[in-house]
Amino acid sequence: MRRVLLWMILALLPLGATAQEAAPARATAAILTVTDAAGVRHRLTREDLAALPQTAFTTTTVWTEGAQEFQGVTLLTLLDHLSAPAGRLVLSAANGYRVERRMEELLPEAALLAYLRNGAPMSLRDKGPVWLIYDFDGDPKYRTEVIYANSIWQLDRIEIAE
Ligand SMILES: Nc1nc2c(c(=O)[nH]1)N[C@H]1C(S)=C(S)[C@@H](COP(=O)(O)O)O[C@H]1N2
Ligand SMILES: [Mo]
């Protein structure tokens, strides 16, 4: 009986791994969950983000080689779309990294929730699916420790408090 169970688990293992790797590419899978101040959870897919006004820029970063094009939605655009007034935000990444910030500290009009890098989705290994990123080359004011610390890769959750 036990042996049968073991074989069943072993048989399922490769499937499980395949499914996990395929998940980020599925258009219907939520890549970012935003919980608003009322506790309502908004699960956003790549398609949801693509339907909003887009922002793109090309910049170098201290974490990548050469100029990179990032495309996505600014934090301001997203919060406006959700009609979610924000005082404080807790932003969490898949690797456990977590930042709590007052809205102004994030520069919401400049903070890009990028879901495409050089035109392609970013895998978890490639700092995706969402990377909160700034146009570092566009303005030296973004090249500060606070903004670097705001530049959360593998971002998957935002919790809003008024
Ligand atoms: N997901 C995730 N994003 C992150 C971090 C992290 O550990 N995980 N570190 C942050 C901090 S504190 C800084 S200063 C910058 C730079 O981190 P690095 O010096 O490790 O490259 O990335 C930020 N984004
Ligand atoms: Mo940091």
| Among 129, 108, 133, 127, CA closest to 56 | 133
What is the reported pLDDT for 44?
Answer: 98
Helix (H, G, I), strand (E, B), or coil: what is residue 92? strand
- pTM reported for the whole predicted model: 0.84
State the distance from the centre of ligand 2 to the C-alpha of 4, rounded, in angstroms: 49
Structural domain boundaries in the chain: 29-161
| Helix ranges, 1-150 (H) | 2-22, 46-50, 75-81, 145-150
Spatial distance between the Cα atoms of 77 and 11, rounded to a whole number of angstroms: 45
What is the mean predicted confidence (pLDDT) over 75-83?
96
What is the reported pLDDT for 3?
Answer: 52
In the predicted model, what is the mean pLDDT of the chain? 88
Pairing of strands 112-117, 30-35: unpaired
- Half-sphere exposure of 100 toward its Cβ, with a 13 Å CA cutoff? 3
Token representation of residue 146: 């606070």
Q: Which amino acid, one-letter code, is at 73? A: V
CATH architecture for residues 29-161: Alpha-Beta Complex (3.90)
What is the reported pLDDT for 162?
Answer: 85
Query: Which residue out of 92, 148, 157 has the highest number of ligand 1 atoms within 8 Å of its CB and is therefore the one to mutate?
Result: 148
Atom 4 in ligand 1: residue holding the nearest Cα? 152
DSSP 103: G
> In which band, very low, low, confident or very high, does the pLDDT at 132 lie, cut at 50, 70 and 90?
very high
Ligand 1 pocket list (CB less than 6 A): 63, 93, 95, 97, 148-149, 151-154
